[in-house]
Amino acid sequence: MTVGVDRAAVETALCGGGLRCPTPGCGRRLAPWGSARERGVRGAGRLRPRRARCTGCRGTHVLLPASVLLRRADAVTVIGAALLAKASGCGHRRVAELVGRPASTVRGWLRRITAVAARALAVLAAAAAELGTEFVAPVPTNDPVGAVVELVGALARAVARRLGGSCEPWRLAAVISGGRLLAPTGPDLGSDAGVAGNTSRLWAGDP
């Protein structure tokens, strides 16, 4: 579950009852429930994400900042830079050099985003519709990575226009995908990780 970029903002939302359970059909209030194990994220420093427990179904959730994706050791901005380089025509070894990560790691990201591109595009398109953005949905078959990169960029511009200021595209993608951009089955369609609630928190935490 991706909630925002700023720990204090997460704390406020959590303690103030502002976060809702993402389990489909639940949606009850989340309450603080300790912290997850501290871990290092390359490009985002050391993180100790908060955990929350649902007051309804009692499910627990780790609250991820927008700088990271689930089970990935690199910041989403690093992964996004790799996807961008791939979309502009670099092979995976060149991409790996550009972002300073092992070629095998980069190949893993590219394979995964290619595999889940259709789902990722659907979730991004739903967020774009929620924002009232006019865009032509890219076709994922020819160049899935390019299509995702293009749509993430278009969304970031739309969010910046709507809310003012600027918007880091890949942090936005992390929020919209609920941290699941590179999850085995991609982001969840119809989950509560929608753009409406989370974008404002992203903004509040990181102007």
- If the CB atoms of residues 59 and 197 are measured against Zn ion, the closer one turns out to be 59
Is residue 191 near Zn ion by the rule CB under 5 A?
A: no
Q: What is the DSSP string of 125-168?
A: HHHHHHTT---PPPPTTT-HHHHHHHHHHHHHHHHHHHHSS---
Kind plus residue range of the DSSP H or E element containing 7:
helix 7-15
- If the CB atoms of residues 14 and 76 are measured against Zn ion, the closer one turns out to be 14
**C-beta of 106: minimal distance to Zn ion in Å?**
36
Q: Please, how many CA atoms are within 13 Å of residue 190, restricted to the half-sphere of its CB? A: 3
Of 19, 21, 106, 131, the one binding Zn ion (CB under 5 A) is 21
**C-beta of 129: minimal distance to Zn ion in Å?**
26
Say if residues 70 and 64 touch (Cβ distance below 8 Å). Answer: yes
How would you class 61 by CB atoms within 10 Å of its CB: exposed for 0-12, middle for 13-18, buried for 19 or more? buried
- If the CB atoms of residues 54 and 147 are measured against Zn ion, the closer one turns out to be 54
Distance between CA atoms of 135 and 50, rounded to whole angstroms?
Answer: 36
**C-beta of 22: minimal distance to Zn ion in Å?**
8
- If the CB atoms of residues 34 and 45 are measured against Zn ion, the closer one turns out to be 34
- If the CB atoms of residues 56 and 153 are measured against Zn ion, the closer one turns out to be 56
How many residues sit close enough to Zn ion to count as binding (CB under 5 A)? 8
- If the CB atoms of residues 61 and 101 are measured against Zn ion, the closer one turns out to be 61
Is residue 192 near Zn ion by the rule CB under 5 A?
A: no
Tokens representing 84 are 């961008």
Distance between CA atoms of 73 and 67, rounded to whole angstroms?
Answer: 11
Part in contact with Zn ion (CB under 5 A); list of ranges 17-25, 140-148, 157-165, 198-206: 17-25
Interface residues for Zn ion in 25-64 (CB under 5 A)? 26, 28, 54, 56-57, 59
Residues 6+ apart with CB under 8 A from 115: 186
Q: Which residues are at the interface with Zn ion (CB under 5 A)?
A: 21, 23, 26, 28, 54, 56-57, 59
